[in-house]
Amino acid sequence: MKKLLSILLALVMGVCCATTAFAQEVNAEIPQAPSPRYTGIASYYANLDSDGNDLILTGGITPISGYTVKLTIDMQERNGYSGTWYTVDTYTDTGTDREICTIYETYKGKSGNSYRGYCTFQAFDSSGNVVDEKHHYTAIMFL
């Protein structure tokens, strides 16, 4: 009986573990690089952090060659009664032709309040027309 069970178990394991390999032709073509997401913006970032009651607001934007960029960050505070956000300070920087523009500012917050950054990233062509505009909120900090 044990011998029969061993053979049966070996057969079941053999069937369950059997694998089949299928080959598929590999396309030797090199895929095309994806097109840029933006016309005039190479990269951008924004962040809000805190150190005690000091809120540290950082942001940056890098233009693609031939474009001008502008970064505007509004420090916003939430009204505890109405829940609406209002701007308490605004920071701006610009950069041209691969010049990175950055913002690094510290804002003194009040305990018990919530804060966030509202960022506007813009790129302009040589005629001054807006070619890209991206809006972004940072994380909310509660002090």
pLDDT per residue over 63-102, tens digit each? 988 999 999 999 999 987 788 999 999 999 988 776 788 9
Main-chain dihedrals φ then ψ at residue 63, nearest 5 degrees:
-85, 155
Q: Residues 94, 68: contact at Cβ < 8 Å?
A: yes
- pLDDT category at 17 given cuts 50, 70, 90 is low
Does an H or E element contain 96, and which?
strand 85-96
DSSP lists the bridge partners of residue 2 as none
For 97-131, the pLDDT digits (tens) are 767 889 999 999 998 899 999 999 999 999 999 99
